[in-house]
Structures are given as C-alpha cells and as structure tokens.
Amino acid sequence: MGITVSLEKANSFLQDHKKEYAFYAPKLYPGTGTFSDTDIIRYGEVESFDEIVWDQKSDYSFKEILLPISQTLFYFTEEQVTMPKTDARKPVIFLRSCDIHALKRLDQIYLENKFEDPFYKALRENLIVVLMGCPSSFDTCFCVSMGTNKTEDYDVYVKMVDGAIVYDEKKEDTPEFVEENEYKVNVPDSIPASIKQSKMWDEYNSRCISCGRCNFACPTCTCFTMQDIFYSDNAKVGERRRVWASCEVDDFDTIAGGIKFRKTKGDRMRYRVMHKVSDHKKRFGVHMCVGCGRCDAICPEYISFANCINKLEDAIKEVETHE
C-alpha cells in the first residue's frame, strides 16, 4: 500500500542524504522556453519534493544526466592526459514508465553494443531509479502503442498525494500507469529498404528546418560528435569533449572528401524513422522509440513523428506496387 510521510519529513530525507546521493527530477525552468515568456520543464538536481513537476510531461528527457550535452572526456597537455573529476554521489533519477524503457535502450546502445562505454557505465552502475506514475496520458504520448506504458524495473515508486509523499519499495502498491493514449500508432512488422523510394519523405524536404530539436528532446537519441578544444593561452593544452549531435542537421554524415550519405531533409527523416522503428529492433528486439511524444511536442514545424509512423503502411504498399 505504500508508506505515507509528510512533505516536510520527505524533504528532510533529501537534505540528509544529499552528500551521498544526487537527486534528479523534472523541474520548471521559468522563462527559458522556446518563445518569450514561456517556461521549460527539464531534468535538474532537486533538494525538495516541491521542486518536482508531477503533473506535466518534461519537455526534455533525463538522458542529459547520464549523457551530458557537453562532456569533457579528458584533459591533455604535451606530456600527459588527465581524467576529469567525477561526482562521487550516486545518482537517483525520478522517471516515468516510458523513460525507464528509454533507459533500457540507452543501456543497449552504450553497454551491450560490442563495447561498454566507461563514462556512461560509471554513472549507470550506481543509478537508483524512482518511478513516477502517470495518472493520465499527456498530450502527444503514444506509449501504449509502443508497449512502454508499464514497467517493473524500478527501485522505489513515489507519488505525491494531498501534499504528502507516498513511497513503496516493496512493489506492493500498483503504480499509476496509463492504459490508453489519444495518439495511437501502428508500426509495420517489417519495413523494406525500398521504403527509401516512397514519396512520403518529400513532404519533409519543405517542412523540416533541420533544427535537431526532435533529437535533443528524445530520450533514446544518443549520437554525439567529438571536439578537441585547444586553449587560447597555450594551444598545446586542451580537452576532448563529446557533444550531442543530430541526424536531422545538415552535415551530420559528411565524411572526408565532402561526401554525404543523406543529402535531403526527407532522407534524414527516413533515417531517423528507420532507426527508431525498424533497425534497433532488428539488433536488440525492441523498438528504439518508446512513444514519449516529446519530439512531436517540441518540433517548431509541427511535424508529428507519430503521424509519420502511421504513414508507413501506405508507403510500403506504394513502393511494393512499383517493384
């Protein structure tokens, strides 16, 4: 049934443990939204339960805690390489069901993909997962279609009820999981490579502005680029960083000689869609997309990834009739 504690007592718990644990949860960042006078909800460190946004979906996901937007991997001089100092505290992250499924996708990509990424592993192995339930579906969610609306992969379930905190470590309480979303998607069982020839991608050539926001909001987009920064006061000293990258942005796939694999925005949209609802499943048995709907909500051109998935069936028929 869960144990109920007052907000005051729950907040004291966070204060008493903040030297050993870093608590991360969705927080409101006033005035930092896309348009003037708009806010944003993203993950940040919290010191009290009052700071947590319980009743709205976060615009950006938790991934920036495990995969920082810009992460220094090492510092170098002519003589030596030094690793950066790391936070000794264990991370505790408040996640909804879809994001716990997204965490599994990150594990597949960063730990089960032939090599283990040591930077991700160092943060991941001490991670404590706190489940936040979803009393109802938020706009643009399609987690039910993607099978990510429920989970048992958490350490403790926490919810706020009438200003008090209820927690359950023994999994006796049934968490609030959504059973239905307004958005529904139908992912075809098999998408042929010839989908490349479909006219469905042409629309994105004119609509998409290659801003990359969809990738940055997505909890399962993990591409990065490497940057060697040379300090201006001594050009032989610097640091290597890995920085988020976006497959929707021009030049993402430009290689030596100026060769590009995906020249148009439609090509890049196709690449993202195939990665999310076809290629990852072939390798790991589950779709990469968890149906959080953040990409739909954040796109400045109102491009809906859910609608795009729903066009695939007709596109498959279109290319098959021309074969």
Residues that bind ligand SF4 (CB under 6 A): 208-214, 217-220, 248, 276, 289-295, 299-301, 303, 305
| Closer residue to ligand SF4, CB minimum distance, 52 or 295 | 295
Q: How would you classify the pairing of strands 40-45 and 238-244?
A: unpaired
CA angle 314, 318, 321 (to 5 degrees): 135
List the alpha helices (DSSP H) in 175-310.
202-207, 213-217, 265-274, 280-284, 294-298, 305-310
| Closer residue to ligand SF4, CB minimum distance, 18 or 42 | 42
- The minimum distance between CB 108 and ligand SF4, in angstroms, equals 14
Secondary structure of residue 199 in the 3-state scheme: helix
- The minimum distance between CB 195 and ligand SF4, in angstroms, equals 17
| Closer residue to ligand SF4, CB minimum distance, 11 or 220 | 220
CA angle 45, 50, 51 (to 5 degrees): 30
- The minimum distance between CB 259 and ligand SF4, in angstroms, equals 22
Contact partners, residue 223, CB within 8 Å, separation at least 6: 215, 244, 245, 246, 247, 252
- The minimum distance between CB 307 and ligand SF4, in angstroms, equals 11
d(CA 113, CA 117): 9
- The minimum distance between CB 320 and ligand SF4, in angstroms, equals 25
Residue carrying structure tokens 């529904």: 184
| Closer residue to ligand SF4, CB minimum distance, 158 or 309 | 309
| Closer residue to ligand SF4, CB minimum distance, 26 or 219 | 219
| Closer residue to ligand SF4, CB minimum distance, 129 or 218 | 218
- The minimum distance between CB 164 and ligand SF4, in angstroms, equals 32
| Closer residue to ligand SF4, CB minimum distance, 198 or 246 | 246
The Cα-based distances of 204 to 164, 247, 302, 310 in angstroms read 47, 14, 11, 15
Residue 50 in tokens: 């009052």
- The minimum distance between CB 220 and ligand SF4, in angstroms, equals 5
d(CA 303, CA 145): 19
Count, residues in the chain: 323
| Closer residue to ligand SF4, CB minimum distance, 213 or 241 | 213
Neighbours of 302 (CB within 10 A): 9
Residue 263, CA atoms < 13 Å, CB-side half-sphere = 2
d(CA 292, CA 97): 9
- The minimum distance between CB 98 and ligand SF4, in angstroms, equals 7
